[in-house]
Amino acid sequence: MLKDQNILITGGAGFIGSNTVEKLVDDNKITVIDNLSNVPDDRYIRDFKKKKNFRFLQRDLTDKQTFGDLMNFDLVIHLAGHSDVRGGFEHPEVDFKHNIEATRNLLDFIRQNKIKELIFSSSCAIYGEATVIPTPESYGPCKPISSYGATKLAGEALISAYSNYYNFKASIFRFANVVGKNGTHGVIVDFLKNLRKNPKKVDILGDGTQEKSYIHISDCVEAMLLLNSKSNITDVFNLGNVGRTSVKKIAEMIIKNLKLKNVKINFTGGYKGRGWQGDVKRVELSTEKASKLGWKNKYSSDEAVEKAIQEVEKII
């Protein structure tokens, strides 16, 4: 586990970011940059502000002036980005700005300050509709079907080039669906909100056959830190789970958790049976590479969903 390090975490006030801060803040000096575009406010990191070794800067990575007074970090954990996959259909320029331009600005900062280590949150969306499932890191060519996936793939390419040019190590993590504490969006959040409003009916986008792997946020954060420590070169890792959980099963799990009766599940059909244009219907990443380096999830895909339902329900 990291200790006595000076760490910059971008997007540190959000879902994955706040959980990463919680994991590291007791033993390290933490600086968070976040523009609060993905969360209502600083609620998930507010308690950390009492600590002398923590500071929060509300800034935007697309502004090069963001980094003017920053330097001397041992590690940068880049979790900031625009994660609204559905919204990319109407506004792909937002993905370009916050997933490519922001990453390029950060990489220039890393280059100028000779920072030697970077962790980057990429996505399974870079694979597109893979024909090999479970999908290994070596799968290609990658053909993303959303602007989100495309811009994450572009971010990976920039990081690969910069790390080679300027001699720093980067660990790139391609996430499956991450769920759990402080979750701000996604199917679990949507279903819980909808059932709070109308406990007799829940709409499921698509035809209900969508199946994806889910990883709990605690497994996700711990896996990033462990695998980064095991790697000495710029490398790419899948973070997912063995097996998949269907969207219909998630709805049924939430209904059971809320102790609701006679709930009508309505399938909306959607674009080619999926939730929206750009949505990949079936996702399962190979986790063999992580396993060979000694990582194993505590929670299966179904268990991750079940735990996340209990955690998210408390704040919805």
Residue 22 lies inside a defined structural domain of this protein? yes
Are residues 193 and 127 located together in one domain of the fold? no
Count of structural domains, the chain: 2
Are residues 148 and 21 located together in one domain of the fold? yes
CATH number at 192 reads 3.90.25.10
Are residues 269 and 308 located together in one domain of the fold? yes
Residue 1 lies inside a defined structural domain of this protein? no
Are residues 60 and 132 located together in one domain of the fold? yes
C-alpha closest to that of 45 among 69, 25, 73, 29: 25
Model pLDDT, residue 263: 94
- Cβ pair 271, 205 in contact under 8 A: no
Residue 289 lies inside a defined structural domain of this protein? no
Alpha carbon distance 163, 151 (integer Å) = 18
CATH number at 141 reads 3.40.50.720
- Cβ pair 218, 15 in contact under 8 A: no
Residue 126 lies inside a defined structural domain of this protein? yes
Residue 291 lies inside a defined structural domain of this protein? no
Are residues 136 and 21 located together in one domain of the fold? yes
Task: Indicate the DSSP class of residue 263.
Answer: P
Residue 252 lies inside a defined structural domain of this protein? yes
Are residues 37 and 117 located together in one domain of the fold? yes
Task: Indicate the DSSP class of residue 88.
Answer: G
Who's near 31: CB < 8 A, 6+ residues apart?
A: 6, 7, 8, 9, 54, 55, 57, 70, 73
Are residues 203 and 266 located together in one domain of the fold? yes
> Domain containing 230: what range?
6-178+215-239
Are residues 137 and 169 located together in one domain of the fold? yes
pLDDT in tens, the chain (316 residues): 799 999 999 999 999 999 999 999 999 999 999 999 989 899 999 999 999 999 999 999 999 899 999 989 999 999 999 887 777 778 889 999 999 999 999 999 999 999 999 999 999 999 999 999 999 999 999 999 999 999 999 999 999 999 999 999 999 999 999 999 999 888 999 999 999 999 999 988 888 788 999 999 999 999 999 999 999 999 999 999 999 999 999 999 999 999 999 999 998 877 776 766 778 889 999 999 999 999 999 999 999 999 999 999 887 7
Are residues 141 and 204 located together in one domain of the fold? no
Residue 223 lies inside a defined structural domain of this protein? yes
Alpha carbon distance 186, 237 (integer Å) = 23
Residue 292 lies inside a defined structural domain of this protein? no
Are residues 134 and 208 located together in one domain of the fold? no
Alpha carbon distance 182, 312 (integer Å) = 7
Are residues 94 and 162 located together in one domain of the fold? yes
| Cβ count near 215 (within 10 Å) | 26
Are residues 89 and 226 located together in one domain of the fold? yes
- Cβ pair 95, 152 in contact under 8 A: no
Alpha carbon distance 37, 11 (integer Å) = 9
pTM of the model: 0.95
